[in-house]
Structure formats: structure tokens, C-alpha cells
Chains A and B, each alone.
Chain A
Amino acid sequence: MNARRAARALALALGLALCGCTQRQLGHHLTDVSGLVAPLEFHMTDQDGVPVSAASYRGDVVMLYFGYTHCLDACPTTLATLADAIEQLGAQSRRVRVLFVTVDPRRDTEPVLKRYVSDFGPQFVGLRGTDAQLTDMIKRYRVSYHYEKPDASGAYEVDHSSAVFIFGRHGRARLLAQTGAPASVLAADLRHLLART
């Protein structure tokens, strides 16, 4: 009798878990990550050398991406898509920020970062942290990066996450955009997030 009751409870728990835990897929390349990913929180320095934190961007919809300026394909492609989406927002684009966190702070000094992000638009912020600040951030967002072997000239590539984490205006994580998310879909979701108070 006990066993049957326990089996029923187990089935119920599994059913609930299945309903509650599965990833909610929106469209093709965007996933709802509300309540899954940690809220926006960090301490770093921006491309002008000014210390900034999550509070500096409260009230804006924030897109967080980890990369490096020497990146050949993934970073420029992703950032260009984000720029495209932002352009489609028109006047609303003032309330959107892209935080580009460098995982290669040795080469990505503040002037280098500043030159790089300004190519994509005024909404783009380059963030650079100490080793401890960067480690805190990759632990918090459960992402990773690692350096490849340098070539003869000392140049090296960095393997890094491809996720774009999108936070609402109060700093709560809302969406995760994967490589290949079309700019129009992103723009629609950004509009939706901007409309939420």
C-alpha cells in the first residue's frame, strides 16, 4: 500500500518536474531563461576606463556577450546581428545596451576595446575586468573560455561561449539567444522586453 502511494507521489513529482523544468523554446534560436540564469551583476571597467556595475545599466534592456576583439568570425557576426536588431528598434534603441565582455583582457586594452565596440554603435559597451572579476562573471553565467596554442607570431585564438544573455530592464535574465538568431526575431523580442515595466 505504502509502495503504491510512494509510486503515485513519484509519478506526480516527475510529471511536475517535467512540466516545470523543460526549456521553453521561443522561435528557433531564442530560449526563455527567466528564473534559470542569474540576474545581471558584475563589477568591471568600461572602454573609457570607468568602473561600472550592473546598476549602471538599470532601466535598460541589456544583452550580455563574451568574446574578444581578435575573434575572426563568431564575435563580429554576432555583434553585427545585434547591431542590426538594435537598428530595427528605431527610437527605442536608446534603452538597449550590449555589454561585450572581453575574455582576452591582455590584448583587449581599453583603447582597443573602445575602437572595436564603436564600430557597432553607441549602444555597445566594452567591458574589461581583472582575472578575479572575469572569473566571477564566467562562474555566475556558467560559461567558459580557453586559449588555444599561439602560432609562430604569438597570435592565438580564444574558444568561448556563443550565448547572448538578454536581461530585462530590472536586470532579470529573460532570454538566451543562440548563434543564428535572426535580427528581426531579436528585435521583436527586444521590443517586447522594452514594453515590460
Chain B
Amino acid sequence: MRLLSYLLPWQFSPTACAVFALTAALYIRGMAVLRRDSIHVGFWRPFVFFLGLAVNYAVMQTYFDFLAQHMFWIHRLQHLILHHIGPTLLVLSAPVPVLRAGIPGPAWRVLSNPWVSGPIGRLWRALQHPLIAPVIFVGLIYFWLIPSIHFTAMLDQRRYLLMNWSMLIDGILFWWLMLAPREAQGAAAMRYGPRCIILTAVALPQIALGAYIALSSKPLFSIYAICGRAWAISPMLDQQLGGLLTWIPAAMMSAVGAIVVLHHVLAEDRRALTREACAQASAAAGASAGAAA
């Protein structure tokens, strides 16, 4: 009974439940559609995808949300998951073909209507611009941590939801741009070299902000003292832990991202080499066939 109360939403959000349920349903339908065409997605891709969905859902719609509202460091952990870890899992599971297969025909026709796809495409390309995406990524972290903004976000339910959704959506956009293989990104695919530069560039301001919070000698976020903390902890320790979470694991995610990018580079090289070898082999075969004739 007690366990159940921890798993239930602290503040039920119909939007969150609808979004997560719809996404899961699309994915499951997509797997079924692909299986009909004898395409099996295997175990790991769905596993990583649902793990990504589950961690995002858990920090938004369980008792964890209460702790995040009343403890600064748990709030930082919540954003580490919504903005970094959850989106990374979702992107690494390469879910687009499965989700695409899961969209029912009529819905897809609506989405591919130029009146709908045009504006969405323009917005998408603007948000995925290699200069804009990292600015939004870091900008959102800084914006919601401006003490006076943070104060209002923790006091007002609507702003709080806006804050968390902005982190999740931007997280998916940013890590998609960084981690998706080029062939999955389509026409506007981003090259791997600049991705590593961006990953480094976003790590530095996160380190600076995290260190500033962790090493600050006075409390920066008064709201937790005013509205009460989730359990007894010294305000400074709470702030230091929150700063460390902003500083180290968040910046580490850039290193993880660089490893994924490196993996893509190597995989692409391997494919190119194989193609070259095949081409040489077939050329040689052609030449010897010509000689034999």
C-alpha cells in the first residue's frame, strides 16, 4: 500500500499521462506492424526505449516529483534525468523507424500534409541549427536556475510543468542532434566533427554553473527554506549536492556523447572500407573475366 502510494503521481498530470501512454502505444504498434513485415527490432532497442520512457515518467509522475519540489539536489537530479539521461536513452534506442511504423495511416497523411509538415519542418530545422541548439540547451539550464526565476517555478504549478517539459523536449532535440547516426538524420545531417566541438562547448558552462552553485558560500535558492524541505538536511549541503550534480554527471554526459559519436565515425569508416573492398573485388573480378574472354 505504501509502495503503491510512492508509485502514484504526486500531482496527477493528464498531459504527462497522455503523452507517455501515446508514445508507448505508438512504439508497441510500430513493433507489431514491423513484425508483420518480418522485421524484428530485437530485444535491446525496445528495452532501451522503454527504459528511457520509464525514467522520464518516474521523475515526473511519482512521489519523486514531491521530493524534487522540496529538495534542491533532487530537483537537479530530476533535470539530469529529464535533460540528459532520459533523452540519451531514447535517442540511442533509434526509435524513429518503429515510431514511424506505429503511426496509423490517416494520422500520417495529416502529418505529411504540407500545411502541417511545412511549419513543423521549419521549426525543427531552426531548433536543430548547430549554433542554436547548444545555446538553447545551456540557456535553459541557466534560465531556470536564475534564483528569482527558480523561485517562481517552484511556487507556480504551471511554470513548474513548463520548466520540466522544456527540459525534456529540449533534451530530446539536443541529444538527437548530437547522437543520432547521420543516416538517420536525413537531409540536414550533422557532421561528426562539429558534434564533438558542441559537446565540449556545452560541458564548459555546465561545469562553471555547477561549480558556482556547489562552491557558493551562501544559500542561493530561498524557496526551499520557505516552502519546506522534504527531510532534514542542511541547506548548504542540499545546495552543494545540487551543484555537484549540475557540475559532474551533467558534464560527463558530454564525454558519453563523444564516445557515441566516435562509435558512429568508426562504423561509417568500416562501411566505407567494406564498400571499397567490394568495389575493388568486383573490379578485379571484372578484369579477370575480361582477361579470360
Instruction: Give A contacts to B, CB under 8 Å.
Output: 2-3, 5-7, 10, 14, 17-18, 21-23, 25, 31, 33, 35-38, 139, 141-146, 148, 159-163, 176, 178
Q: Does B226 reach chain A (CB closer than 8 Å)?
A: yes
Residues in B131-151 with C-beta less than 8 Å from chain A: 131-132, 135-136, 139, 143, 146, 148-149, 151
Complex contact B155–A33 (CB within 8 A): yes
Complex contact B226–A162 (CB within 8 A): yes
How many A-B residue pairs have C-beta atoms within 8 angstroms? Tell me.
Answer: 89
Complex contact B155–A36 (CB within 8 A): yes
Contacts of B156 in A (CB 8 A): 35-37
**Which among B127, B135, B226, B230 is the interface contact of A163 at CB below 8 angstroms?**
B226
Residues in B208-246 with C-beta less than 8 Å from chain A: 222, 225-232
- B66 CB → nearest A CB, Å: 7
Query: Knowing A14-B139, A37-B156, A139-B11 touch, does A161 contact B226 (C-beta < 8 A)?
Result: yes
Complex contact A6–B129 (CB within 8 A): yes
Contacts of B227 in A (CB 8 A): 141-144, 161, 163
Contacts of B155 in A (CB 8 A): 33, 36-37, 142, 176
**Smallest Cβ-Cβ distance to A22: which chain B residue:** B148
> 9 tightest CB-CB pairs across the interface, nearest first?
A6-B126, A161-B228, A144-B228, A22-B148, A36-B156, A144-B70, A3-B129, A23-B148, A23-B151
Instruction: Give B contacts to A, CB under 8 Å.
Output: 10-11, 66, 69-70, 122, 125-127, 129, 131-132, 135-136, 139, 143, 146, 148-149, 151-157, 159-160, 222, 225-232
Complex contact A2–B125 (CB within 8 A): yes
**Which among A14, A25, A33 is the interface contact of B143 at CB below 8 angstroms?**
A14
- A177 CB → nearest B CB, Å: 10
Contacts of A31 in B (CB 8 A): 151
Contacts of A5 in B (CB 8 A): 126
Cα A148 to Cα B139 with chains together (Å): 39
